Amino acid sequence: MRDKRAETRIPKKIGVDTGGTFTDIVMCINDALWTHKVLSTPRNPAHAVIQGVSEIVGRVCSPNVATDTEQLAIVHGSTVATNALLERRGARIALVTTKGFEDVLEIGRQTRPSLYDFFVERPAPLVPANRRFGIPERTLHTGEIQTEIEPTDLNALTSELATLALDAIAICFLFAYVNPQNERIVATHLTKLGIPISCSHEVLPEYREYARFSTTVANAYIRPTLERHLSTLTNAEQFPASFRLMLSNGGCVSAKNFESAGIRTVLSGPAGGVLGAYQIAKAAGYDQIITFDMGGTSTDVSLCNNGISLTTESTISGLPIKVPLIDIHTVGAGGGSIATVDAGGALRVGPESAGADPGPICYGNNGENITVTDANLFLGRIAATQFLGGAMSLDLESTRTHLEKFAAQLNIPVLQAADGILKVANAAMERAIKVISVERGFDTRDFTLVSFGGAGGLHAAFMAENLGIQTILIPPNGGLLSAYGMLFADVVKDYSQTVLLKFETSDEGLLETLNAGFDELTNRAENEMKPEGFTPDQLKIDCSLDMRYEGQSYELNIPYFTEIEAHALAQKFHAAHAQRFGYARTDAPVEVVNLRLTATGATDKPPIQPLPLVDADPSAAFTGQSHVIFEGEALRTDFYRREALCPGNQIAGPAVITEFSATTVIPPNFSAVVDAYQNLILNRTDADCSLVA
């Protein structure tokens, strides 16, 4: 889009999402949106970010704005931290811990995800045994220092660490979340080594050694890589030195103040997608949604039941990460997922991906592996000449040749092979949705599927049909929704503190203790939000408690208000436990495990304004017809250009709707309508297709 009025305007906000295949950029200027998409640069993701931002600013803005980069308000979500963990390409680090506990990372927990698998291989710790060092020290669970650190031990440790050519150090002592004195002493002494140091009392001041150790070590592991990425951006003339990082909890923080927040960026891209999907769906009148974000490498799903779901428990590549984040489940199925034939002759899809280079065969970059995107192209569901708005033409003939060879390996017809690839990929994504819905007591039929990502619209209708979902919402610019969602990100900081208090409804002093703990966290939040530009009266403070029945090894998070009565708080916990697990033990003693506080500083956000509904006839957007394969049958299918559709337009399947960043397939048994917010609303033809005004 181009608007001559923008020449005199200043960019209000830019969202940048670095994905495995593409880097997406969305820019908002005085309520108008511009979008851009460039291929990612896996060897140095910062290069694609700089290129994409420079191109969109240069295309839209006047020269003085393009050169004055400090006028750009950028929120950047990155896969840098995630990929460092997934690919084990992080820093060379050492762990300093309490003597005798060097192997906590190796021992882990009693939980065994594959209990009966004789051939299971646990991921190797991020720190090998020869770089895990124990030092004599001991802090009791009360916070009392039983064994102080001796200077001779500290000097010996420093000398040994200096010989290892380390990039970073993690420090994790027992009960440091109660009293961090010994961690601070060691960290202060080790600063002479001149490398980043991550302390557990700063990264995660909570009990449970394994989760705390794992999270702190992961933070140290990715921190140098993330710092190099940020340094590349801030040193580039085309990029502002001051910008914000998207966090996994749906908020953002200044890059210059990220410090120990590195681990909190691991799911920042998918978090932006959930945030954008929820904002759009809520404006359109849908409160219960399942977000379906299918990109080039993976698919991310999240359930939003009248609000975005948050969690403090996550596992990335076998590593427990215990920080607040949007509850997102990820599977290795995307447009670039590679189809293979296993040793038994069965068809497999993913989790390996062709990525951006060489990418799918149809990209013409000498790729050799058939992918989901290739199968969609072969079946006619992607217009080869209209990819990325016509900026990139896809190689159909090369795709056909490779797919025929692949079908020969399976000894089946080529159409069946292509259709099988899509069905296997769909099955993996359906299982992911069931994990966050059916397995947690939710009925998928009660929810609307909000589909986005570059490949989401190609699969959404087939997914919904198999899951019994009646309505699908596909927002405009769905392939860039994660970047768009970052425009809605507030500045958010999370704080926690373990207290381990027995909850007695008759104990009047309990609430005073809780309030005093929250007062300390509030003071800390107010001080740390000042560099972000927010005064205490501009902050929204949300408090909650992690609660459990005595003896349980897991907690539920319950909202907390200073004026709430202890009895009412207990009832909230019992009700939450019954909803989550199907029962409540109202006569059992309850414990408060952790205090949690979230401080939010509101930012300016782009408006979501409805437009008047016009004629139902979509012929102005019609671009032609072509044969598309559905269930092995070639059907003559209408093609439409998404940008030319107007609110009120109605389209009967089969149809394909193309746009710059994505493609939407409407099967024969579906119809679509464009609502007042320019969303595509898909419904089964035998369902109610009433218009959302």
For the beta carbon of residue 449, count every other beta carbon within 10 angstroms: 25
Dig out the tokens for 456 from the structure. Answer: 């989401």
Dig out the tokens for 585 from the structure. Answer: 């033990």
- Mark whether 34 and 93 lie in a shared domain: no
- Mark whether 53 and 140 lie in a shared domain: no
Confidence of residue 687 (pLDDT cuts 50, 70, 90): low
Higher pLDDT, 87 or 501: 501
Number of domains in the chain: 4
**Where residue 499 sits, what CATH number does that domain have?**
3.30.1490
Tell whether 528 is covered by a domain: yes
- Mark whether 523 and 578 lie in a shared domain: yes
Tell whether 424 is covered by a domain: no
pTM: 0.85
Tell whether 194 is covered by a domain: yes
Tell whether 320 is covered by a domain: no
- Mark whether 93 and 77 lie in a shared domain: no
Cα 682 to the chain's mean position, in Å? 25
pLDDT tens digits, 118-160: 877 778 899 999 999 999 999 999 999 999 999 999 999 999 9
Q: What is the pLDDT, as a whole number, of residue 7?
A: 41
Dig out the tokens for 494 from the structure. Answer: 């999370």
Please give the single-letter amino acid code of residue 167: D
- Mark whether 192 and 246 lie in a shared domain: no
Q: What is the pLDDT, as a whole number, of residue 63?
A: 59
Residues paired with 472 in a beta bridge: 449, 682
- Mark whether 40 and 117 lie in a shared domain: no
CA-CA distance, 594 to 501, in Å (whole number)? 9
**Where residue 116 sits, what CATH number does that domain have?**
3.40.50
Last residue within a domain, chosen from 223, 246, 280:
223
Q: Is residue 356 within 8 Å of 296, Cβ to Cβ?
A: yes
- Mark whether 188 and 204 lie in a shared domain: yes
Tell whether 181 is covered by a domain: yes
Q: What is the pLDDT, as a whole number, of residue 69?
A: 60
Mean pLDDT of 89-99: 94
By the 10 Å C-beta count (0-12 exposed, 13-18 middle, 19+ buried), 1 is classed as: exposed
Higher pLDDT, 2 or 318: 318
Tell whether 252 is covered by a domain: yes
- Mark whether 96 and 141 lie in a shared domain: yes
- Mark whether 642 and 574 lie in a shared domain: no
- Omega into 151 within 30° of 0, i.e. cis? no
pLDDT tens digits, 348-406: 998 888 876 788 888 888 878 899 999 999 999 998 887 776 667 888 999 999 999 99
DSSP label at residue 306: S
pLDDT tens digits, 275-331: 999 999 999 999 999 999 998 878 889 999 989 998 888 887 778 889 889 998 888
What is the average pLDDT score of the chain? 88
For 17-84, give the secondary structure using H, E and C: EECCCEEEEEEEECCEEEEEEEECCCCCHHHHHHHHHHHHHHHHCCHHHHHCHHHCCEEEECCHHHHH
Tell whether 557 is covered by a domain: yes
- Mark whether 245 and 123 lie in a shared domain: no
Domain range for 35 is 4-85+229-265
Confidence of residue 11 (pLDDT cuts 50, 70, 90): low
Last residue within a domain, chosen from 211, 241, 265:
265
Ordered strands of the 288-294 beta sheet = 329-331, 299-305, 288-294, 448-452, 471-474, 680-684, 670-674, 650-652
Last residue within a domain, chosen from 242, 265, 288:
265
Tell whether 195 is covered by a domain: yes
**Where residue 237 sits, what CATH number does that domain have?**
3.30.420.40
* E strand or H helix that includes residue 203: helix 200-203
Mean pLDDT of 531-538: 92
- Mark whether 21 and 106 lie in a shared domain: no
By the 10 Å C-beta count (0-12 exposed, 13-18 middle, 19+ buried), 452 is classed as: buried
- Mark whether 70 and 100 lie in a shared domain: no
For the beta carbon of residue 581, count every other beta carbon within 10 angstroms: 12
Q: What is the pLDDT, as a whole number, of residue 672?
A: 96
